[in-house]
Chains A and B, each alone.
Chain A
Amino acid sequence: MACFLVSAAEAVIVTAVEKAVEKKEKAPTEMTIGFENGAPETAVKIPFSQKLKWLRNLLWGGTVLLAFEHIWHGEVVPWFPFLTAAADPADAVEMLHEMATVGVIMALLVTAVWLGMLGVAALIEKRAQREAQAGEATEAAL
């Protein structure tokens, strides 16, 4: 009915936070990592604002495509009150219930997947740093 509005609200907040973080961010951190041949090389760590962009794109993408589905099903209309369910009090209650259940779980799942992506990215960064340290140690031993 209007479950995408919860994700849309989160997307607006994430976009604002991302812009604020981007302004405050200093020069990206340099680190030594090991690429495919294990040789240590200097690379730039992805800034947090870039990682926030992943969440922003997940949320906006999902919101736009779901909004289209709601237009397709006639649940969103181009005239006031824009949501057909909002015109009838009984339907409005059902709509709010759907937003509180389906909508909130959608936003939570997308955020959880993004947190998982952050975890995997951190693991890959640590592994690359370890490989570089091992490469440096081997070079020093030779």
Chain B
Amino acid sequence: MTLLVTAFAAVISTVLWYKNAPKSDMMLGVLCLMYWGASLMWLVDAVFEYAELKAEYFTPAPAEMLNDLFLGLSVVALGLIVWLVILLIKDPRGVVKATLFKKK
């Protein structure tokens, strides 16, 4: 479930990046790569888990699934927070700078 939620986040952020490209003032590329990196890593984790559990992997207990969904959503939220912090620090549109320093 965590892999699924992260993969959806990766796909949605990639579509948004493509829609806004070649402009990169929102740094959506960073968000895309972050989610894709995590998705690829969880894919490996899922393959190993499938090799161990076989078909049982696809029938998790409801409580386990709910916990994984909650984790997936938390991961997406953390990814968004990390991206937002990077965006505010790098400030490609100069918004933070313009807010902090007003022209005379």
Interface residues of A, Cβ cutoff 8 Å to B: 3-4, 7, 54, 57-66, 68-69, 72, 101-102, 105-106, 109-110, 113
**How far apart are B53's CB and chain A's nearest CB, in angstroms?**
15
B48 surroundings in chain A (CB, below 8 A)? 101-102
4 A-B pairs with the lowest CB-CB distances in the bound complex, closest first: A61-B34, A62-B37, A57-B33, A58-B37
The contact of A110 among B37, B71, B78, by CB within 8 Å, is B37
Total interface residues in chain B, CB < 8 Å: 23
A57 surroundings in chain B (CB, below 8 A)? 29-30, 33-34, 37
A106/B74 contact (C-beta < 8 A), A61-B35, A61-B79, A69-B2 known: no
The contact of A58 among B40, B43, B71, B75, by CB within 8 Å, is B40
Asked if B44 is an interface residue, CB under 8 A from chain A, the answer is yes
Give the CA-CA distance A105 to B41 in the complex, in Å.
9
Q: Is the CB of B34 within 8 A of A60?
A: yes
Q: Is the CB of B41 within 8 A of A4?
A: yes
